[in-house]
Amino acid sequence: EVQLVESGGGLVQPGGSLRLSCVASGFTFRDFPMSWVRQVAGKGLEWVAAIETFDGFSYNPKYADSVRGRFTISRDNAKSTLYLQLNNLKTEDTAMYYCAKPRDGQGTIKRDNPTNMDRKGQGTQVTVSS
C-alpha cells in the first residue's frame, strides 16, 4: 500500500524557516517525480514544487512563482524521502502541506491541475504568525 507521511510543520514567525519531510513507502520512490502541494483551509489545492528523478538522481526542480527563491525541494532516493526547505516564510504561506505522488506514467503533477494525482499524505500544518 502506498503511504506518504509528512512531518516538520509548526508555528513560526514571519521570516522564519522550517524543513518539511515526507517518508514514502509502498512503491518504488526513485522511479517517480514527486511534488509538494498545499491547501489553505476552505480553499483548493495549490501546487508548490516538484522534482524529477532519473537513474537514481534528482533533477529539474520546479517552483510556483509565489515560493521561488524561498523554498527548496529535494529528495533522497536511498531513504525514500522528499524534503521541502521553507525559508523567509510569509503569513500567506500558512497552509496544510502535502507531498503528492503521481499516477503510473502520469509524469510530474501539473501546476495547473494539482488535484490530478495518485495520492497525497495526511499533511503537516505550517502556520506563519507573529
When pLDDT is cut at 50, 70 and 90, the band that residue 58 belongs to is confident
Rounded Cα–Cα distance for residues 80 and 48 (Å): 20
CA 34, CA 49: separation in Å to the nearest integer?
Answer: 9
- Position 54 scores a pLDDT of 86
Predicted pLDDT of residue 11: 98
H-helix or E-strand containing 46?
strand 45-54
pLDDT, mean of residues 23-32: 96
Please determine, for residue 86, whether its predicted confidence score (pLDDT) is greater than 90: yes
The pLDDT assigned to 57 comes to 85
Mean pLDDT in residue range 35-63: 93
Q: What is the mean pLDDT of residues 110-126?
A: 93
Can you tell me the distance from the alpha carbon of 106 to that of 118, in angstroms, rounded to the nearest whole number?
A: 9
pLDDT in the model for residue 59 = 83
pLDDT band at 70 (very low <50, low <70, confident <90, very high): very high
- Count of C-beta atoms within a 10 Å radius of residue 61: 15
Q: Enumerate the β-bridge partners of residue 95.
A: 126
How many whole angstroms separate alpha carbon 41 and alpha carbon 87?
22
How many of the other CB atoms lie within 10 Å of CB of 28?
Answer: 9
pLDDT at 77: 94
